[in-house]
Structure 1
Amino acid sequence: MPAQVAVSVHGPNQVPDGGLTEQWERLLAQSTRSESLFQSRSWLDQLPAPEKGPPWELFTLHDPRGELLALAPVRRGRQRLRFHVSARTLAEIRLPAVNLQGSEPLLAEGQPPLEALVDALWRHYPRAQCLYLDSVTVNGDVWRQLQRLHAAGWALVYAPDGPRAHHMLDLPTAFPAYLRAQFSAKTRNTLRRKQRQLAAAGELRLWRVEKASEVADFLARAAEVSRQSWQHRRLGPRVHQTAAEQRRLCGLAERGLLRSYLLFCGHQPCAFVLGYQYRGVFHYSEVAFDARYGRRRLSPSLVLLYRLIEDLTVHRPARCLDFGVGDADYKRLFANRCHTDATVLVLRRSWRNRLLLAAHRGFRGAIRTLKGGLGGVRPSRPSLPAPAVGRGGAHGG
């Protein structure tokens, strides 16, 4: 570990009130990353406890004068490295992992002391094989430090699916202003027509879910929609109607973080969004719609998103909507800002991990070659600049 950086580790019951808590809140307030929600104490305290050990721990990094450099909440778990074609998983390897909450440390000043943090994580979690960073901004400070660690051979740094689009929507104060700025007259007419078509099948009602008393009913109705969705058939349940999930969402609601939606067509729920709002950022976390409406050429998820955005401008207004990782047509349609990010794994240097990454990289390359040789097959993601970090490919399968 670099001698100029001192690292301390605090469990959930070991974070002292006062100085450190105040510094934590101040860094969250200063952060410009929408992912700061996942680094907040309010979010971390609702995470389910593992079988062994604390649900999360807080790493603090200080310089020789004792000045705080960075905070990094982390959580232990297992990370899947999938060998997949589109949504179909052919095989997967589960690696003992440490999840860096929010993907990048909360910085007090200067460059992120990433080498010291990774070294401390390896020492504290000797069985962990990788550090998981869900959304690293390409060409940002953390990305460049990862490049240096990779080039120096200090760690194995790998972006399994390469870079991808991350869409955002900066919300105006008035919904009509957003519609005029975002869409042509033809598209605005199309969106209104889709609402009329869905309304012809039943009266439309948007239910905003923010209270703990609403969580059980929301989960039951969202699970009903999920079971009829294409995502359920290909990816599994989109919501979990369990006691643990109900407790988690109730806890988030009590802290003012829960903001989810359910769209009814008549008496029937037809689409839902599981979402959260923190410091003016709405997180569009999980979405599904009843595929039976799609077979009738109706668009419940599009109508839900349209009305959700309108609600974000009038009730507890948000300044930004984060569509989350990955690209999609509807995100490109409604978003007005986009940056490039990537999921990154930082692995210990070992022959086993080297062979694993070589096998995965070879598999991804074969899939890209196969797709490129099939005329008319559209890649699942747009082509993006290749990262300098070790990569699995610029296109996901």
Structure 2
Amino acid sequence: MNDFTHQLVDEDELPAGAPRAQAAASLPDAAQRFELADVTDRHDAPELLAAWRDMLGRGTSPEKLYQSPEFFRCIVESEHGTTRTHALYAVHRRSDGACVGIVPVRKSAQEVGFGVGPLRFGGRKLATLQVLGSVPLLDRSEPGLAAFVFDSLLRRHPECQVLSMQAVPAPQVDALDSLAGLTAKVFNGMRGCHTVPLPENFDAYLQKFSSKKRYNLTRQVRLLGAEAGEVQVCRIEAPEQVAGLIEAMRAILPAGHFAELANAARLERMARHGLMHSYVIRCGVQDVAVVLGTRSSDVWHVHNIAALPKYHALSAGTSAVHLALQDVITHFSFADADFGYGSPNQDFRATHVLKHRCTVLVCRARSATAALLAAHRVWQHAADGVVARIKEAQRRLKQRNIAARQAKAAAG
């Protein structure tokens, strides 16, 4: 069995083709060495927090935000007086009681659908235990630890059919190939996540652009100010600022999008625990753009960017991101800005680094769930092939139509 705990941290550093270490311990051996304890009700205990923060500081997840003590407190508060879906586990070494893992989890559901493009022919919803942060906080020097933790979580939650890790970096996926008694499946393939490495100062960031692009970014901000009023950059971090953020979102976002995002209680919780990091771009007395974001210790996460439609021609959204990045780089020490999945704005492609991540589902080997996920993977591969052929046919048809029109115009 591969030593997943070790590889999870170090695989990025291995040269191509380097041999992978094999785990020295089987699951029964690991059960003699480790103990998984539910510490949900002690999540604020000082000794637990100290161990948690130490492991978080050494963690490698691209989504540390979601495995932090602050985010867990947000979940606890949001579920106060309701059915609990969250849990926090600590892993201790039996020999000396040392903490070798902290694993926050939350129950959810995973839809496994069968379809082609927008067409859906059926599917099944799986009861899921989500491993928050995707890359678990485990001591990399302990062989067999991750397999023990995954197996123990499924035993603790027999109502859950799969464990879900929603953003596993591509270089770390192979480490999941051999987990004793378990199987790990990449769900719906790899996706490109757009990140921006943040230098120490804004001038260094600007040097990534051509001189023409630097001029255009400055010009766009200047034109926006000339048309809409003096440009102000309002950073939103504190609970008392959330009301202003929501009013800006109400003015800028479509009604459906606003209803989905503008949850005042949730946004205030994030701000109260130091996780909110958004921006409102105001021109004169008018809010013209919002950048909705959150933060961990080393990453600024950008979730949504929106601008008033009447200022789209002035590239208000592009200016909002530019101004927000200027503030982030000048006043904070984040290593990266993470813009999530999708295609980056053309104006910022010179600065973006594409990092591939995927959802990984872990379940019991030789189970009905494993068979379902295997069937889905075969189906999805075939469906993707059909969609690719349709798009290629459409492209060729478009080219033929253009050529026919050009030939007709030349003949006329």
Confirm or deny a common fold (TM above 0.5): yes
Residue 191 (structure 1) aligned with residue 217 (structure 2) = yes
Residue matched to 2:177: 147
Q: Distance in 2 between matches of 1:260 and 1:86?
A: 34
Residue matched to 1:383: none
Q: Distance in 1 between matches of 2:123 and 2:249?
A: 29
Residue 271 (structure 1) aligned with residue 260 (structure 2) = no
What amino acid is aligned across from residue 169 of structure 1 in structure 2? V
Classify 1:371/1:318 alpha carbon distance in 2 versus 1 (closer, same or farther; 3 Å). Answer: same
3-state DSSP class of the match of 2:247?
Answer: helix
Deviation sequence 1:236-259 (CA, Å, 0-9, x none) = 5574334xxx23332332332211
Classify 1:337/1:29 alpha carbon distance in 2 versus 1 (closer, same or farther; 3 Å). Answer: same
Q: Distance in 2 between matches of 1:239 and 1:256?
A: 22
Residue 162 (structure 1) aligned with residue 189 (structure 2) = yes
Preserved CA contact (<8 Å) 1:34 1:322: no
Deviation at 1:30, TM superposition (A): 2.3
Residue matched to 1:138: 170
Q: Distance in 2 between matches of 1:94 and 1:102?
A: 22
Deviation sequence 1:163-202 (CA, Å, 0-9, x none) = 233333222232122101x101122223233334433441
Residue matched to 1:251: 269
Residue matched to 1:126: 158
Deviation at 1:44, TM superposition (A): 0.7
What amino acid is aligned across from residue 345 of structure 2 in structure 1? Y
> Runs of 5+ in structure 2 lacking a partner?
1-26, 396-412
Select 2:305's aligned residue among 276, 287, 294: 287
Q: Distance in 1 between matches of 2:197 and 2:41?
A: 37
Classify 1:114/1:107 alpha carbon distance in 2 versus 1 (closer, same or farther; 3 Å). Answer: closer
3-state DSSP class of the match of 2:29?
Answer: coil
Deviation at 1:91, TM superposition (A): 6.1
More moved, 358-367 vs 122-131:
358-367
Residue 222 (structure 1) aligned with residue 239 (structure 2) = no
Classify 1:117/1:270 alpha carbon distance in 2 versus 1 (closer, same or farther; 3 Å). Answer: same
Q: Distance in 2 between matches of 1:334 and 1:87?
A: 32
Q: Distance in 1 between matches of 2:28 and 2:340?
A: 33
Classify 1:359/1:273 alpha carbon distance in 2 versus 1 (closer, same or farther; 3 Å). Answer: same
Residue matched to 1:375: 392
Residue matched to 1:343: 359
What amino acid is aligned across from residue 338 of structure 2 in structure 1? F
Residue matched to 1:326: 341
Residue matched to 1:392: none
Residue matched to 1:20: 48
3-state DSSP class of the match of 1:358?
Answer: helix
Preserved CA contact (<8 Å) 1:7 1:120: no
3-state DSSP class of the match of 1:163?
Answer: strand
Classify 1:132/1:212 alpha carbon distance in 2 versus 1 (closer, same or farther; 3 Å). Answer: same
3-state DSSP class of the match of 2:188?
Answer: coil
Classify 1:328/1:269 alpha carbon distance in 2 versus 1 (closer, same or farther; 3 Å). Answer: same
Larger Rg: 2
Residue matched to 2:129: 98
Residue 179 (structure 1) aligned with residue 195 (structure 2) = no
Residue 49 (structure 1) aligned with residue 79 (structure 2) = yes
Q: Distance in 2 between matches of 1:44 and 1:35?
A: 13
Q: Distance in 1 between matches of 2:293 and 2:89?
A: 25
Deviation at 1:115, TM superposition (A): 1.3
3-state DSSP class of the match of 2:382?
Answer: helix
What amino acid is aligned across from residue 24 of structure 1 in structure 2? W
Classify 1:365/1:318 alpha carbon distance in 2 versus 1 (closer, same or farther; 3 Å). Answer: farther
What amino acid is aligned across from residue 304 of structure 1 in structure 2? A
Preserved CA contact (<8 Å) 1:222 1:239: no
Q: Distance in 2 between matches of 1:89 and 1:292?
A: 37
Preserved CA contact (<8 Å) 1:226 1:239: no
Preserved CA contact (<8 Å) 1:164 1:341: yes
Deviation at 1:226, TM superposition (A): 2.4
3-state DSSP class of the match of 2:134?
Answer: coil
Select 1:358's aligned residue among 357, 370, 375: 375
Classify 1:59/1:66 alpha carbon distance in 2 versus 1 (closer, same or farther; 3 Å). Answer: closer
Preserved CA contact (<8 Å) 2:116 2:387: no
> Runs of 5+ in structure 1 lacking a partner?
379-397
Preserved CA contact (<8 Å) 2:279 2:324: yes
3-state DSSP class of the match of 1:161?
Answer: strand
Q: Distance in 1 between matches of 2:243 and 2:120?
A: 32
Residue matched to 2:228: 202
3-state DSSP class of the match of 2:105?
Answer: strand
Deviation sequence 1:145-165 (CA, Å, 0-9, x none) = 31223xx7x334222232233
Residue matched to 1:302: 318
Deviation at 1:291, TM superposition (A): 4.4
Deviation at 1:77, TM superposition (A): 1.6
3-state DSSP class of the match of 1:284?
Answer: strand
Residue matched to 2:401: none
Preserved CA contact (<8 Å) 2:114 2:376: no
Classify 1:87/1:290 alpha carbon distance in 2 versus 1 (closer, same or farther; 3 Å). Answer: farther
Preserved CA contact (<8 Å) 2:301 2:337: yes
Q: What is the count of residue pairs matched by the alignment?
A: 360
